[in-house]
């Protein structure tokens, strides 16, 4: 299949870069789970979740518009558009910072993190937005080597700084959080330098471009929040219903499942640009090839999810300290959930192509809210396994709901019958 050959080269580079990136937390597992307590690991988990949550608000998801508008760069002032997106980031970060400051005592109680680290998390979310913006440019420009180099730079800094701060200076969970923070800041500065040197950034932005970016990004904010309710609410609930130590044990299962998540992300980053170009051709035969490739992705993801879930518990005796080995029964639900998440990524591209981001947000937010209730029920009755089972079910519901939406937003020959396909 010509589409598969077109995707294979870039996908391999994305997979290698993402696998090396995924190796960072796995390399840290044998060390940190032997020198840190489950409570310390739980606070590391909470810091990561807070950064993700704030990341849904920082920049208001307009970095996604950068990747899409790249393909319109012949008709717009694309560098000025990027500058406008960064201006949106600056304004939204100030608003997020104000809200965090106002609600700091409540957030400290809910997240189990000290106030200063919550403020630092705001800065990290902004730095990650800048990095994601440059990564979106590299992806749309078909530059997987540069994409991988930037990702690996941040991951390597994260690894090195965390090792020094935790093992050499004995800073416990604060050392790991500081490593994440410093690596994000350095990667953001590098990304800004790349934008300027590559001619992708011009300041100041314009109000018109900022409005265009917001029209794309704002409907995605509920979508991002819904995704976080699916992917991260379990750690909040575990910390508050059980304890922070249990959240640390659960994080071990999540980090092992993250390997599959990064593989699916790599494949999707290679698949999405080719898909966008293919759909624009409005060719029924090409559409059929696209659907077949999508189905192939479904099957491979499910096989990977089950295989990883079955194999991972046997590796825990090598990977983690004794206090964390109770994560074993949880892992298979996490990896299958990540497989459903990868399947969701494949079908959500059709929705992005059709511009139906508002409807996508409704699906994601609905599934996220359902996950809150399901997580509470299963967590209180089945413990950590219940939390993982809720995650798996929520990922399945999001995939099925988004696939249904994709079939309505942009009809495709999902029945593998091109003669019945008409737009």
Mean pLDDT by 10 residues, the chain (423 residues): 51 69 73 82 85 83 80 84 90 91 90 91 93 88 84 89 88 91 95 91 86 81 78 82 84 82 75 77 81 89 90 78 79 92 88 74 85 90 91 93 86 72 45
Task: Please identify which residue in the block is written with the tokens 């180099």.
Answer: 149
Q: Could you identify the residue written with the tokens 């590391």?
A: 44
C-alpha pair distances (Å), 389 with each of 212, 240, 244, 378 = 39, 18, 19, 8
Best CA proximity match to 17, nearest among 262, 346, 342: 262
The pLDDT value recorded for residue 4 is 47
Question: Could you tell me if 312 and 256 are in contact, meaning their C-beta atoms sit under 8 angstroms apart?
Answer: yes
| pLDDT at position 178 | 94
Q: Which two tokens stand for residue 361?
A: 């947000």
Nearest to 229, CA basis, from 410, 32, 52: 52
Per the structure block, which two tokens stand in for 76? 């717009």
H helices, E strands: number in the chain:
15, 0
Average pLDDT, the chain: 84
**pLDDT score recorded for residue 1:** 46
Contact 92, 59 (CB under 8 A): yes
State the pLDDT at residue 164: 92
- Dist. CA 361–CA 352, nearest whole Å: 11
User: Which parts of 198-330 fold into alpha helices (H)?
Assistant: 207-217, 220-231, 233-237, 244-280, 284-319
Query: 308-344: string of b/e by CB count within 10 Å (b at 16+)?
Result: bbeebbeebeebbbebbebbbebbbbbbbbbbbbbbb
Contact (Cβ atoms closer than 8 angstroms) between residue 345 and residue 58: no
In this structure, is the dihedral angle defined by the CA atoms of residues 241, 242, 247 and 253, taken in order, positive or negative? negative
Gap between the Cα atoms of 90 and 414, Å rounded = 42
> How far separated are the first and last CA of the chain, in Å rounded?
24
Among 212, 192, 366, 353, smallest CA distance to 275 is for: 353
The 10 Å Cβ neighbour count of residue 193 is 12
Q: Are 226 and 365 in contact (CB under 8 A)?
A: yes
Question: Residue 366: how many CB atoms within 10 A of its CB?
Answer: 16
CA dist 301 and 308 (Å) reads 10
CA 75, chain centre distance (Å): 30
**Which residue in the block uniquely carries the two structure tokens 């980053």?**
269
Q: Which residues contact 3 (CB under 8 A, 6 or more apart)?
A: 274, 278, 286, 289, 290, 293
Alpha helices, DSSP H only, in 58-143?
A: 63-69, 78-102, 104-111, 115-140
Which residue is it, tokens 């459903």? 340
């Amino acid at each position: 299949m010509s589409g598969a050959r077109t995707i294979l080269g870039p996908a391999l580079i994305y997979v290698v870069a993402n696998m090396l990136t995924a190796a960072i937390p796995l390399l840290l597992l044998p060390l940190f789970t032997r020198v840190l307590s489950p409570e310390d690991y739980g606070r590391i988990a909470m810091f990561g979740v807070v950064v993700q949550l704030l990341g849904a608000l920082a920049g208001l998801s307009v970095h996604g518009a950068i990747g899409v508008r790249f393909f319109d760069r012949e008709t717009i002032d694309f560098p000025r558009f990027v500058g406008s997106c960064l201006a949106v980031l600056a304004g939204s970060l100030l608003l997020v910072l104000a809200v965090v400051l106002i609600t700091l005592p409540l957030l400290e109680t809910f997240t189990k993190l000290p106030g200063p680290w919550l403020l630092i998390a705001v800065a990290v979310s902004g730095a990650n937005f800048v990095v994601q913006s440059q990564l979106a440019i590299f992806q749309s420009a078909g530059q997987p080597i540069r994409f991988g180099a930037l990702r690996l730079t941040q991951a390597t800094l994260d690894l090195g700084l965390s090792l020094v701060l935790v093992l050499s200076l004995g800073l416990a969970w604060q050392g790991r959080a500081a490593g994440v923070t410093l690596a994000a800041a350095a990667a953001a500065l590098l990304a800004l330098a790349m934008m300027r040197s590559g001619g992708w950034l011009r300041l100041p932005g314009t109000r018109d471009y900022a409005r265009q970016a917001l029209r794309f990004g704002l409907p995605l904010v509920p979508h991002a929040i819904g995704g976080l309710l699916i992917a991260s609410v379990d750690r909040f609930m575990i910390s508050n219903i059980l304890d922070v130590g249990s959240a640390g044990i659960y994080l071990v299962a999540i980090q092992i499942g993250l390997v599959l998540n990064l593989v699916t992300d790599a494949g999707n980053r290679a698949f999405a640009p080719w898909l966008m170009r293919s759909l624009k051709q409005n060719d029924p035969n090409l559409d059929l090839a696209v659907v077949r490739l999508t189905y192939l992705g479904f099957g491979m993801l499910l096989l990977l999810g089950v295989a990883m879930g079955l194999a991972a518990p046997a590796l825990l005796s090598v990977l983690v300290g004794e206090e964390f080995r109770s994560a074993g029964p949880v892992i298979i639900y996490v990896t299958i959930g990540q497989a459903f998440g990868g399947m969701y990524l494949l079908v959500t591209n059709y929705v992005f192509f059709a511009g139906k981001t508002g409807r996508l947000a409704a699906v994601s937010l609905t599934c996220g809210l359902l996950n809150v209730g399901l997580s509470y029920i299963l967590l209180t009755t089945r413990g950590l396994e219940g939390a993982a089972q809720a995650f798996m079910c929520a990922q399945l519901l999001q995939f099925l709901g988004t696939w249904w939406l994709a079939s309505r937003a942009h009809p495709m020959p999902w029945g593998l019958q091109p003669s019945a396909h008409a737009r």
